[in-house]
Amino acid sequence: MSLILLPVPIGLADPAWMPPVVIEQYRRLAYFIVENVRTARRTLKAFDPSIDIDRITFFELDKHQRQDASTLLAPALAGQDMGLMSESGLPGVADPGGFLVAEAHRLGIVVHPLPGPSSLMLALMASGLNGQEFCFHGYLPRKQPALQQAILQLSKTIERAPTAHLFIEAPYRNQTLFQAFLEGLAPETGLCLAVNLTMPEGWVKSMPVKSWKKVPPPDLHKQLCVFLAGNLL
């Protein structure tokens, strides 16, 4: 019995981004834990149109409340392999499935992570910031003055240590967060935007805050964006 952690391409269900070993697991598994059944079914069909969706049993995660993990993991406890899918990227990383992985360990279920695209790691690779020491913070506070205070504290932290700091935001609030970084970070601080990675329109740009202020602001509205801040190498 295993819980197999299955990556999903970022933005596009393109099998070209998946190692063959991952596609094979998608083909063979009969039980999946997913965030959304409809998009999961669509992703499986994009990977391989010959997959018989009707033979698959889906267990859907509730994003609003924590469910009983043993119920979701019932097939694995009965000796079956299960797949855990994210909507995009890697299960358990900026993803609601992390508690299931922890429960699988407690219940003695073998956990198998499989390789695939991670917007966080791709962004760090392309940022020119410190790849030896980094911290993913998730979301910053949504409202002022808490957002401004958090960024001012971040700026002080960056002055003291070379750590790269990674953040994400709801796509419709990207522009607000970008402007808050320009206002709250020191002029020499490196700021990287990694947008729509692995997608045809994807791009990465990294430069000091003072340089960002000299160019027209990019259109980040409703884009998939990872923000990175730190000292450029």
What pLDDT digit, counting tens, does each position of 170-187 carry?
A: 999 999 999 999 999 999
| CATH number corresponding to 2-113 | 3.40.1010.10
pLDDT for 13 equals 55
**Which ranges in the chain are annotated with CATH 3.30.950.10?**
119-230
Q: What's phi and psi for 222, nearest 5 deg?
A: 60, 30
**Mean pLDDT computed over 228-232:** 97
pLDDT for 12 equals 62
**Mean pLDDT computed over 15-43:** 92
The model's pTM: 0.90
The SS3 call for residue 107 is: coil
- The pLDDT-based confidence of 142 (bands split at 50, 70, 90) is very high
**Mean pLDDT computed over 182-201:** 95
- The model's pLDDT over 31-50, given as tens digits with 9 standing for 90+, comes to 999 999 999 999 999 888 99
Structure tokens at 90: 């890697």
The SS3 call for residue 88 is: coil
Q: Tell me the C-alpha distance between 82 and 46, whole Å.
A: 20
pLDDT for 87 equals 87
Residue with tokens 């003072």: 210
Structure tokens at 31: 């039980």
**Which ranges in the chain are annotated with CATH 3.40.1010.10?**
2-113
Q: Is residue 189 a contact partner of residue 158, using CB atoms and an 8 Å limit? A: yes
State whether the Cα torsion 127-226-181-164 is positive or negative: negative
pLDDT for 16 equals 77
Q: DSSP letter for 89, please.
A: B
Q: Tell me the C-alpha distance between 81 and 25, whole Å.
A: 10
Superfamily of domain 119-230 in CATH is Tetrapyrrole methylase, C-terminal domain (3.30.950.10)
Residue 67 has pLDDT above 90, yes or no: no
Q: Long-range contacts of range 95-100, CB-CB < 8 Å, 24 or more positions apart?
A: 96/35, 96/61, 96/63, 97/5, 97/33, 97/35, 97/61, 99/66, 99/69, 100/3, 100/33, 100/61, 100/69, 100/72, 100/73
DSSP 122-142: HHHHHH-S-SSSEEEEEPPPS
Output the CA torsion 191→192→195→198 (10° steps).
-170
